[in-house]
Structure formats: structure tokens, C-alpha cells
Amino acid sequence: METLTTPALLATAAFAAGVLNAIAGGGSFLTFPALVFAGVPPIVANATSALAVSPGYLGSTLGFKHELLRLPRERLRQETLLAAAGGVAGALLLLVTPARVFSGLVPWLLLFATVLFVAGPWLARRGHSGDPQDHPWTRWRPLGLLAVSVYGGYFNGGLGILLLALYTLTGERHLITANAMKNLNSLVLSLLSVATFAVAGAIAWGPAVLMMVAATAGGYAGAHWSRRVPVAWLRGVVVATGLGMSAVFFLRA
């Protein structure tokens, strides 16, 4: 790939990922393949991708600050601690995974995340319409959040869909609140996982810095657009990208 083309590709992918993560999720379908196509090894690309999109979560979390301020502080504290623990555990799991094994897992992980994305609206409709505390699955939310956070620390793709599914299936009746919590916990677990990657020397810092700036701008823009821009066409783009990237990586495997 030409030298001048690579930064433009990475910046564009990161901005679009920030927008998608704020609105519907699926941003890693763009950042991870862009890094691999730019010549970054898969494990380093995955770690760098997680760092690249994490500031986008900051931008979108700030965009949902009013929704978050209305939530009980104890709930925020408990859930962010679980997300942090899961993010570190997932990152450590990735670091001990052999490169060849991870390369073989990549297309399956991308396909799994794409299927989750397609199922997202159906999962959202499974949410409880009454008091979340009366929902029979609410007590399983902490364990579910920990498990999803481990997955997010290991492979960021589809993280937003999993978090939204978790909240709606365990009784969160307000989608805007679920979206706000999704972004906050994604931010927390991503920051802790990328800190782990950084200590282990698994970050490509040149691409990471460029993509962080672009993803932050995209995340902030996406948080505002999510309130008034229909997302059906964005979902179509994400699904097409996920399927396409899965096929490419299956062929490369």
C-alpha cells in the first residue's frame, strides 16, 4: 500500500468506527481490517484497534453524560469495576494466545460479531417493559457484564452489540440508557485492556495515535447524530462490511 494512502485509510476507518460505535456498534469491523491491510500483525492490529476506538467511546460517553448522571452512582461504580476487571482479563488472554491460533480465530470472531449485529434489533425487542428490578434475569447482569467484558478485552468486535443485548435482556427498558451504559463500560474496559497491551508492548503507536484522534471525533459526532439520524442504512453498511471482512480473512487463513 502506498505510504500516503495508509494514514488516510486508517484515519477514515477510525472516524467511521467512532461514529458507528456511538450509534450502533461494529466499529472494529473497520479499524481491525484496516490495520491488518496496512501490514500490522493480527494480534498487534487487534490491540492497536482497541486503543484506536477507545477514545471514541470517551467522545460518545460525554455525549450521553445527561443520561449517565441520572443513574445511581452505586450502579455506575459496580458496573465499571466489573467492566475494568473483564477488560484486563480479556487482554491477558489475548497476550497468551499464539499468533497462529489467533489468526485462525479472526474470521470466526468477525463472523460471530456480524451475526450478533444482525440479531441486535431482535435482541433489543426481548427487553422487559416493566421495572428492571422485577425482571427475572436482572440478577444475572453482573456475571453477564463480566463475561462480555472479557470478550471485549480479547476481541473488541461486536462488543457494543453484546452490551446492548445484555442490558435489554436483563430488563433495561430505555434504549438510550442502555446505549449510554454501553459506551461507558466500553470506554472503561477498553482503557484497561489497552493499558495491558501497552505494558506488554503490543501497540503500534504510530497508527494508534492517528486513529485515536479520528475515532474521538467520530464518537462525539455519532453520539449527537444517534438522536436524529436513522440508523438502518448504517446497519446495512456494518453488516456488509462484517460479512465481507469475514470472507476476506477466511480466504487469508
For 94, the enclosing helix (H) or strand (E) is helix 73-95
Task: Name the region of 230 (left: φ>0; alpha: ψ -120 to 50; beta: rest).
Answer: beta
What is the pLDDT, as a whole number, of residue 195? 94
Cβ neighbors of 7 (< 8 A, separation 6 or more) are 210
What is the pLDDT, as a whole number, of residue 1? 45
DSSP 40-85: --HHHHHHHHHHHHHHHHHHHHHHTHHHHHTS-HHHHHHHHHHHHH
Q: Which of 247, 245, 236, 253 is nearest to 117 (CA)?
A: 236
What is the pLDDT, as a whole number, of residue 227? 65
User: What cell was used for 95?
Assistant: 497476550
Going from the C-alpha of 253 to that of each of 12, 22, 64, 71, 184, the distances in angstroms are 26, 31, 40, 45, 34
What is the pLDDT, as a whole number, of residue 2? 46
Cβ neighbors of 35 (< 8 A, separation 6 or more) are 10, 44, 45, 48, 49, 52, 204, 207
What is the pLDDT, as a whole number, of residue 83? 96
Domain boundaries, the chain: 5-252
Burial label, 81 (beta-carbon count in 10 A; 0-12, 13-18, 19+): middle
pTM exceeds cut of 0.85: no
Cβ neighbors of 233 (< 8 A, separation 6 or more) are none
Cα-to-chain-centroid distance, residue 117: 11
What is the pLDDT, as a whole number, of residue 47? 93
- The rounded distance, in Å, linking the Cα atoms of 12 and 30 is 9
Q: Which of 116, 90, 99 is nearest to 45 (CA)?
A: 99
- The rounded distance, in Å, linking the Cα atoms of 220 and 249 is 30
Low-confidence ranges of the chain (pLDDT < 50): 1-2, 128-129
Cα-to-chain-centroid distance, residue 214: 16
- The rounded distance, in Å, linking the Cα atoms of 89 and 149 is 8
